[in-house]
Amino acid sequence: MSDVDTVPAKTAEDGLVRCDACPVLCRIRPGRTGACDRYANVDGVLTRTDPLVLVQHAIERKGALVPFLEGSTSWQGEITPRAPVFVTGIGAGTTYPDYKPAPFIVSQPYDGVDTVTVVTEGIFSYCSVKVKIDTDRHVGPEQATVTCDGEPVGHVMTAEYGSQMLSLGGVRHLTGGGKREGTVTCEMMLRLCNKLPVELAVEGGAKLTVAAGKPPVIDGHREERMRVGCGSATIGIFAKQWFGHADEVIVVDDHITGVLSEHQAGRYLDIKPAGIRVRGRKSTPGRYFQVAHPGAGWGGTDITDPLAIIEKIDPGTAWPGLRLLMVSTTGEDAAYFVLDHRLKPIAQPMPAPLQTVVARIGENCEPALCTVLFMGGAGGSLRAGVTENPVRLTRSVRERLTRVTLGGAPAYVWPGGGITVMVDVTRMPERSFGYVPTPALVAPIEFTMRLEDYRALGGHVDSVVSLGEVLSHARRREEARRPDNPWPLDLEARA
């Protein structure tokens, strides 16, 4: 362990040290770690257990990227000459009890400009995760409670285009309920943010297994496809490809079921009315709401027999031999019927041209994934680690003079007061998140700006160290920059 990785701590006669990195104030025995496993007693010195994570920019040599810097894998050996290095907050330590400067305030020149990056690990009591689940299946009613290990940890949000949304965590679950609720909530968020799977249950709905960047598992079924669009959109996309091969196409969807002959796309192609009336509430021509209840069947409805949504067939309009295709918005469910002399739909083998279009629906469906966004408020303790006048940091972020990143990954800063950030956890290095048993999550956060701007906002200039000092003292883990992440030191290329 090096001097950069240690902080002063009170040592008792029996060798115990008191950790003041969070409000728990653990008393740690020699050779042991505190409750969070992030700080240890090493020969009577309080020491951060995880290495500081550095991210190195790929450089070009004779027109090619240095091979070991491609992708997101770690590299071995020393820092590559001339390649810029970014110091992340992962493994840096915290500012608790708040009045201290951030653990690392690093200066380095970049592209002819003197920059400063203020690096810390924030203790986020006010934080949550937003989970986007790509599926047509009904996971549960809006506002339904989501549980983990029997404890309430969040709720179902609105359904978006081909996705179900969950809001998990938050201060009321962390601290506003019972002790076990807070513990389970913290563990659930920690696993999700570190890209590990979590099992959830929705009251009145489905059982889910979700993990960032992985397909969702809903009631034991692994999702493969995100729908191409609602039933109406699917009609619009593929109407011309069905023309001449089917007399009527009904795209079953929990939200908007489409009927080709009534739809504007069908009218544009001069497809004659088929006289097949579906259940539900008609919105505009060829678009129907509430044809069935939500569920795990066709198109996110509760039906397994598509004919169940047909309310009637008009004998004055329909005709024997009418060709009817029924298909879901992912193409996973499809059936072909021909009306007999009684105008009853009779299942028939699907003609090859229609099979081709059904397969194309599936081809146009993106892979179903779970997206996990960490969301937190960077409050007084974080800002006090940057400057003695925290509101100046908030203003600097608003004025786009300061770039905010988490583990080097770009963060979306919400409009309005404060510094409320949101980040896609899959763009962050592995093992970016920790916890403290208050309970709260610990997340890396970095504020990067020009040195002159840092002086202007009243920053802790006396605590600035050079990148060389960090590289020469700190235990470290090196990561290559993800090519889809903007380089944090490039202040002219703000998102």
| Domain membership flag for residue 372 | no
Structural domain includes residue 419: no
The Cα 430–Cα 73 span in angstroms is 10
Residue pair 418/391 in contact by the 8 Å Cβ criterion: no
* Same domain, yes or no: 322 and 204: no
If asked whether residues 245 and 352 sit together in one domain, one would say: yes
At which of 296, 331, 363 does a domain end? 363
Comparing CA positions, the residue from 91, 90, 88 lying closest to residue 39 is: 91
The pLDDT value recorded for residue 471 is 87
Q: Is residue 169 part of a domain?
A: yes
Tokens of 101: 């400067």
Instruction: Assess whether 143 and 105 both reside in one domain.
Output: no
- Using the 3D structure, point to which of 207, 226, 245 is the last residue of a domain: 226
Which tokens sit at 432?
Answer: 């970016």
| Neighbouring residues of 184: CB distance < 8 A, sequence distance ≥ 6 | 148, 149, 150, 151, 153
Query: Cβ distance 200 to 189 under 8 Å?
Result: no
Residue 353 falls within a domain, yes or no? yes
Measured between alpha carbons, how far is 145 from 149 in angstroms, rounded to an integer?
A: 13
Residue 291's domain spans which residues?
Answer: 231-363
5 inside domain: no
How far is residue 34 from each of residues 8, 39, 125, 180, 431, measured CA to CA in Å?
Answer: 15, 6, 19, 20, 18
Torsion angle of the four alpha carbons 48, 175, 132, 163, in this order, in degrees rounded to the nearest 10: 170
Residues 333 and 351 in one domain: yes
Which backbone phi and psi does 202 adopt, to 5 degrees? -105, 125
Domain end call among 308, 334, 363: 363
| Same domain (yes/no): 255, 349 | yes
Same domain? 116 vs 219:
no
Q: Are 170 and 139 in the same domain?
A: yes
- Residue percentage of the chain with pLDDT more than 70: 91
The pLDDT of residue 44: 84
Same domain, 174 and 261: no
Q: Is residue 209 part of a domain?
A: yes
Cα angle, residue 328 at apex, residues 324 and 333 outer, rounded to 5°: 85
Domain total in the chain? 3
265-295 burial string, b = 16+ CB within 10 Å, else e?
bbbeeebeebbbbbebeeeeebbbeebbebb
Is the backbone of residue 425 left (phi > 0), alpha (psi -120 to 50) or beta?
A: alpha
Asked whether residue 97 falls in the same domain as residue 114, the answer is yes
Q: Are residues 133 and 105 in the same domain?
A: no
What secondary structure letter does DSSP report for 446? E
Write out the chain's pLDDT in tens, 495 residues: 334 455 455 555 578 888 877 788 888 888 888 888 878 888 888 888 888 999 998 654 333 333 333 343 444 444 444 578 999 999 998 887 777 899 999 999 999 999 999 999 999 999 999 999 999 899 999 999 999 999 999 999 999 989 999 999 999 999 999 999 999 999 999 999 999 999 999 999 999 999 999 999 999 999 999 999 999 999 999 999 999 999 999 999 999 999 999 999 999 999 999 999 999 999 999 999 999 999 999 999 999 999 999 999 999 999 999 999 999 999 999 999 999 999 999 999 999 999 999 999 999 999 999 999 999 999 877 899 999 999 999 999 999 999 999 999 999 999 999 999 999 999 999 999 999 988 999 999 999 999 999 999 999 999 999 999 998 876 888 888 899 999 999 988 754
In a domain, 30, yes or no: no
Instruction: Map residue 214 onto helix, strand or coil.
Output: coil
Residues belonging to the chain: 495
Predicted local distance difference test score (pLDDT) of residue 11:
54
The residues, ordered by sequence, that sit 6+ positions from 173 with a Cβ below 8 Å of its Cβ are 152, 153, 154, 181, 182, 185
Same domain, 173 and 216: yes
Domain for residue 12, yes or no? no
Phi/psi-derived region of residue 342, left when phi > 0, alpha when psi is between -120 and 50, beta in every other case:
alpha
256 and 352, same domain (yes or no)? yes
User: pTM of the entire structure?
Assistant: 0.88
pLDDT for the residue 292? 96
Dihedral angle over CA of 261, 264, 269, 271, nearest 10: 20
Under 8 Å CB-to-CB from 27, ≥6 apart: which residues? 12, 16, 17, 18, 19
Q: How many CB atoms lie within 10 A of CB 35?
A: 15
In whole angstroms, what is the distance from residue 218 CA to residue 220 CA? 5
Whether 330 and 290 have beta carbons less than 8 Å apart is answered as no
